[in-house]
Structures are given as structure tokens and as C-alpha cells.
Amino acid sequence: MAAATSGAGRCRLSKMGAGRRPPPARVRVAVRLRPFVDETAGANGTFCVRGLDSCSLEIANWRNHQETLKYQFDAFYGERSSQQDIYAGSVQPILRHLLEGQNASVLAYGPTGAGKTHTMLGSPEQPGVIPRALMDLLQLTREEGAEGRPWTLSVTMSYLEIYQEKVLDLLDPASGDLVIREDCRGNILIPGLTQKPITSFADFERHFLPASRNRTVGATRLNQRSSRSHAVLLVKVDQRERLAPFRQREGKLYLIDLAGSEDNRRTGNKGLRLKESGAINTSLFVLGKVVDALNQGLPRVPYRDSKLTRLLQDSLGGSAHSILIANIAPERCFYLDTVSALNFAARSKEVINRPFTNESLQLHVFAPVKLSQKEQLGPSEAKKTRGPEEEEIGNPEPPALLASASQKFSPLQKLSNMDPAMLKHLLSLDRLLGSQGTQGTPLLSTPRRERMVLMKTVEEKDLEIERLKMKQKELEAKVLAQEAVDPKEKEKLSPTMHQPLARRTVTVAKPLKKAVVIPLQLIQEQAASPNADIHILKKSRKKKLECLDGSEPLEKAEDCWELQISPELLVHGRQKILDLLNEGSARDLRSLQRIGQKKAQLIVGWRKLHGPFSQVEDLERVKVMSGKQLESFLKANILGLAAAGQHCGAS
């Protein structure tokens, strides 16, 4: 009862502070110990779990039988606790969060045969969490959505099961496997899932009881009606504010009955039951991985590894107020399953959720005002449709028309106390705006400030339209004036239009200007020599071809630069190369172009055998010879080694 009181107090505080984001909320964990199935076993005292107080319990240590393991939770319910105790102490306090636009979830976890389905559904004599929660939630929505309250509330329900990693709609079994999606705001949704509106508990029973019979169950050695799937009941509460600013809230309640983990050696599962057991244990294993990842703060939480964890993304580490009810058995044969369930509950207690209010603003749209066929016509068309009597009277409207028109407008404008002449003027202005294609609420249906802004906008639009019309007329007059002008004057007015060229000039592309880079040492030697007047770049005149249409091409001289090597410089370069071949080492010979280590050694060896070289020849092919080709060439030509003077340089 202490837990229930603190929970209710927290609900009131969050209701008062609904405008700001609530602080993070930890997953609350409650443990329920079911009674002995066999009363004789309970009388013999063969139990393995014992409660210490309302929040703690102890279990025997399987490593050392003289020691016990103690666990501390938010609530502990012994074998004598009733369904009402569990509901009032742990589940009822979180229902108030749904009216604040927040999410909540209740999960029943434990091994097979521990009493999860009994805790969630119960019996006609002892209803479980689901019927009690729906009864109280519908009562709260009726009270909050009554006449005179600021909100209108509606409740819808959906019921599904996860059977062998398939999402099946229990309200519509023929729909097949459904997919789980996530919208742009991170909310988990299932497209195509049936939603049934409910307003009373009788409506809930009419939809829920037939759907419960569609859930997959089977018999095992431990349980005659063992749940073979995870069942999820989704209850959605929509709230809409009656007055401005017309807020909208949405709260979701997940009531989840998980299938129990099974030891196939004790359950005796075979065939289909063994396959179902494997799918159940796999999804529960992924659920444990999600809890561990959240506690360790890992960057990736494996929600997508299972359909169950994907659907529970809001409940564990998401935006819901979550309650985990761990069901355990007292028999010693369930010892390992009980220890596993308690360890999972202890880890789940450390998971932190961040609930927030799902609230949005929705513009309140007034009902569109329907005008009569005559009022929808423009001023010119309205004159054509007038009868002879109306032509004689002129603009004044009949009193009945004024009265009917005044009844169509919004109560924001009090038309009954207005001057008849002003009312007639406003009505004509409103019809004029309607004939010009204005959409939405008529002029008189808006407040005074918005009406003035609207009238100013219409006036600016009219001025803009008139300005554009005048500009268009000026352009049209200018075009007509240009067309009426003589062709000669037209040519003067449009200087940008040129006559086609009478001739075509074809020119020869100019060659690129080239220069030879000479080492500084060679330039100094040339300057010191008696023949210092050595020109490398000389100016010459090249001919340029020009041709006219229908005439022969003409030649035109043009100054340009071309490369001319003097004979003295060429002889000097040959002598430098010959001296290098006769006196240089293998390292000096490698400075010549395309002379490597192997070619340099061949030249030095040939010089030692046959003496110095006496002449340098111009043989271009020597530059691309291999070692064997050079050797055969030296044997055939003892005169010397070739290298082009203009392509070789001495170091």
C-alpha cells in the first residue's frame, strides 16, 4: 500500500507539472510468488524462495546450500497476495499518465507455468490486470471527457500476438503477418492493425473475449494451456481540447503477456512444440541482450534483432512508464528458472526511460459557409440574372435576404446591432470578395484586426493587378510601333542585328615560341671564346595565308622566332661528348642522355680494349638500344658512339 500511495502522489505532481518535461523514470519491478500447485508439497515445506518483507526476498544459493541470495525490488507479493493487491500496488498508479499524453506499459515475465497469464487475465472470480486496468481507464476517460471539461477523450484497442516471429492480428486473424514500422518522430506503429473504439467495459469484452480465443496455446508436461506466443494489448487514449489553442494528446498503454522460457528436457517438446519453444527462447534471449545493452550504455541496442524487442522499444529505454511483473514458482524443480527470472528482473530495474507528453497543436477549422447560387455570381453576372423589379429598385437588398445572410455569419461579429446601411455595404463587399475567388471563411466571419489586414491585402493585390495591366499595354503598344517602322529605320533601331559576313578569313595557327635553356657555365665559356657571337634564337619571317570568298589565297609575311643552331656550337658540343667518352668514368658517362650503368660499363670496357674514340656520329637509334644491341653495334662500328647534339648535354 505504501507503493501505491507514493505512485499516486507522483501522478499528481506530474499532472501539475504537465507543461514541462518530466524527469527520467526508472523501470519499476514487482515480483509475484505463486502458491504451490500441489498442496502436499507445500505442506512438506519443499520451497526454494522466501519473502523477507514487502520489497525483498531470498533464495537458496545453489553453489553453497548454507547461504542465500537476497534480492531487493520495488514490490514483492507473496503466495497469499490477491489480484487486487498487485493491481492497486503497481499498475493502477501509472494509468493517470495516459491522461497526460504519456505512454505506459505493463509486462508479465517469468518461466512457463509461473502464472503470467493468470496475473494478466485472471478469472471471472478474480479478474487480472487487463480487465481491472480497462475498467478504471474507461471510468477516468468518462470523468475527464464529461460536459464542461476542457478535453474530449476517445479510447481504441488493438490486440495482437507474436507467434514464431510473425505479428498476427487477433481481432482480424485473416490479415496475415504484419510489419512493424517507425514514423518520423520515433513512434513504433503497425500499419494495418485493427483498431476498435470502445466506450464501455461491455464494448471491451465484446471485442477482447473472441480475440483471446484466437491466441495460440498448447499442452506441455508442465502446463496444459501453455501460451505459445507473446500477446500484446494496445489501448490508445486520444484527447482533443475543446477551446483554443486546440491541443491534441495521445497516450498508449501496452499490456503484455510474455510467453515463458522453457527447458525442453522438462517440458518434453517435440516437433511443432519444439519449434515454438525455440522461437520463444530466442526472443527472450534478445530481450535480455537489450536490457544489458541499455545498462552498459552501448551505442547500439539490438531492438531490431527480434519482433518482440522492436515492439517493446518504447517500454525499455523509450518514452513509457514501465512496470515489470516477474512471476516465479516456489518449487525446487523450478529453481534454475526462478534464479534466471530474478536476475533478469534485477537487471531490468536499472533501465532508465524518458517519458514525455505526446502533445501537438491543431488549427481549429470553422465549418465553411455555403453561399447561395446568386451570391456566388460576380457583379456583371448578377445584373444579368436580376429581374425587372430588381432593376427598378437598384442595389437595396430585400430584408429577408439580409436576415438570412446575417444568420450565416460567425457570432464573432454582432450584425443585429449594426446600422442597416453599413450592413448592406459589408454584405456587398463580402459577395464581391467571394466572386473574386477568395477561399476560406468570408470577410465578416473574421475578427476586426484580421478583417482589416485582409482588406488591405485585397487592395494591394488590386493595385498590383492594375500596374501589371498598364505595363502589358505599354509593351503591346511598343511592339506595334516597331512593326510599323520602315525596314531601314528598323535596322537603325536594332543595332545588335548584324548582316552575315561576306568573306571568310582562314589563318594559319602561329607556332609556339620556344627557347633553349643553356647552362650558365657553357654561356660563360662561350663569352670567353673568340667566337662569342653565337646566336641560338634567330628572328625570321613566316608567311601567313589569307583567302577571300571566291578568290585565291594570299600570302602575308609575319615575324616569328625559330630555333637555329650554329655549326660552331654543334662542333663544340661534339668535341665535349668525344672528350667525355675517352676520358670520363662510368659515373660520368651516366650523365649522358639514356646511358645507364650497363651501357656505361660496356663503353669503358670497349675503350680499354680498342683505345680511345676518334669520332662522334649522328645515330638516333643508339639512344634506344639495349645492352646486347649496343655491344653488337660497337663491334660493327669502332668509330664511336652516337648521340644527337641538340638532345645531349654535358655535366
Residues 438-458: tens digit of each pLDDT: 444 444 555 667 777 888 888
pLDDT tens digits, one per residue of 282-340:
999 999 999 999 999 999 999 999 999 999 998 898 889 999 999 999 988 888 899 99
Q: Which fold has domain 25-361?
A: Kinesin (3.40.850)
Cα gap 531→521, rounded to integer Å? 16
* pLDDT value for 628: 58
Q: Reduced to 3 states, what is the DSSP secondary structure of residue 151?
A: strand
* pLDDT value for 3: 39
Please compute the mean of the pLDDT values over residues 73-97 and round it to a whole number.
94
- Residue 554: strand pairing partners: 546
Cα gap 29→431, rounded to integer Å? 67
* Per-residue pLDDT at 268 exceeds 50: yes
* Per-residue pLDDT at 216 exceeds 50: yes
Sign of CA dihedral 601, 607, 612, 613: negative
* pLDDT value for 518: 63
Q: What are phi and psi of 460, to 5 degrees?
A: -65, -40
* Per-residue pLDDT at 32 exceeds 70: yes
Please compute the mean of the pLDDT values over residues 232-260 and round it to a whole number.
92
C-alpha cell, 215: 491466441
* pLDDT value for 410: 42
b/e 537-575 (16+ beta carbons within 10 angstroms → b): eeeeeeeeeeeeeeeeeeeeeeeeeeeeeeeebeebbbe
- Calculated CA dihedral for residues 221, 227, 228, 231, nearest 10 degrees: -170
* pLDDT value for 564: 62
Query: Which DSSP state fits 312?
Result: T
Please compute the mean of the pLDDT values over residues 503-521 and round it to a whole number.
56
- Residues 313, 354 contacting (CB under 8 angstroms): no
Binding residues for ATP: 110-117
Exposure of 102 by Cβ count < 10 A (0-12 exposed, 13-18 middle, 19+ buried)? buried
Q: Reduced to 3 states, what is the DSSP secondary structure of residue 185?
A: coil
Highest mean pLDDT among 15-29, 139-153, 449-463: 139-153
* pLDDT value for 14: 37
Mean pLDDT of the chain: 75
Q: What are phi and psi of 498, to 5 degrees?
A: -110, 155
Other Cβ atoms within 10 Å of 281 Cβ, number: 16
Percent of the chain past pLDDT 70, that is, above it, reads 65
- More confident call, 294 vs 534: 294
* Per-residue pLDDT at 135 exceeds 70: yes
Could you tell me the pLDDT band of residue 185, with boundaries at 50, 70 and 90? confident
Cα gap 119→324, rounded to integer Å? 12
CB neighbour list of residue 479: distance below 8 Å, 6 or more residues apart = none
* HSE-CB of 431 using CA atoms within 13 angstroms: 23
Please compute the mean of the pLDDT values over residues 109-135 and round it to a whole number.
92
* pLDDT value for 396: 44
Could you tell me the pLDDT band of residue 36, with boundaries at 50, 70 and 90? confident
* pLDDT value for 379: 47
* pLDDT value for 507: 54
Name the residue among 611, 623, 613 with its Cα closest to residue 647.
Answer: 623
pLDDT tens digits, one per residue of 356-376:
888 888 755 444 444 455 444
Sign of CA dihedral 517, 522, 523, 524: positive
Could you tell me the pLDDT band of residue 483, with boundaries at 50, 70 and 90? confident
- Residue 556: strand pairing partners: 544
Cα gap 459→453, rounded to integer Å? 10
Please compute the mean of the pLDDT values over residues 52-71 and round it to a whole number.
88
Q: What are the structural domain ranges in the chain?
A: 25-361, 567-644
What region does 440 belong to: left with phi over 0, alpha with psi -120 to 50, or beta? Answer: left
* HSE-CB of 78 using CA atoms within 13 angstroms: 11
Could you tell me the pLDDT band of residue 459, with boundaries at 50, 70 and 90? confident
Ranges 44-48, 315-319, 426-430: which has the least confidence: 44-48
* pLDDT value for 389: 44
AA letter at 144: E
Q: Which fold has domain 567-644?
A: DNA polymerase; domain 1 (1.10.150)
Cα gap 106→120, rounded to integer Å? 9
b/e 106-145 (16+ beta carbons within 10 angstroms → b): bbbbbbbbbbbbbbbbbeeeebbbbbbbbebbbebbeeeb
* CA angle (598 as vertex; 593, 600 as ends), nearest 5: 55
CB neighbour list of residue 445: distance below 8 Å, 6 or more residues apart = 366, 369, 409, 410, 412, 413
Binding residues: 110-117
Could you tell me the pLDDT band of residue 578, with boundaries at 50, 70 and 90? confident
* pLDDT value for 622: 47
* Per-residue pLDDT at 540 exceeds 50: yes
Please compute the mean of the pLDDT values over residues 539-564 and round it to a whole number.
52
Ranges 133-137, 419-423, 475-479, 491-495: which has the least confidence: 491-495
CB neighbour list of residue 384: distance below 8 Å, 6 or more residues apart = none
* pLDDT value for 572: 83
- More confident call, 434 vs 308: 308
Please compute the mean of the pLDDT values over residues 246-274 and round it to a whole number.
86
Name the residue among 605, 598, 592, 596 with its Cα closest to residue 642.
Answer: 592
Q: What are phi and psi of 222, to 5 degrees?
A: -95, -20
Cα gap 173→255, rounded to integer Å? 20
- Calculated CA dihedral for residues 37, 41, 42, 44, nearest 10 degrees: 180
Highest mean pLDDT among 408-422, 521-535, 586-600: 586-600
Cα gap 540→563, rounded to integer Å? 10
Please compute the mean of the pLDDT values over residues 428-438 and round it to a whole number.
65
* pLDDT value for 291: 94
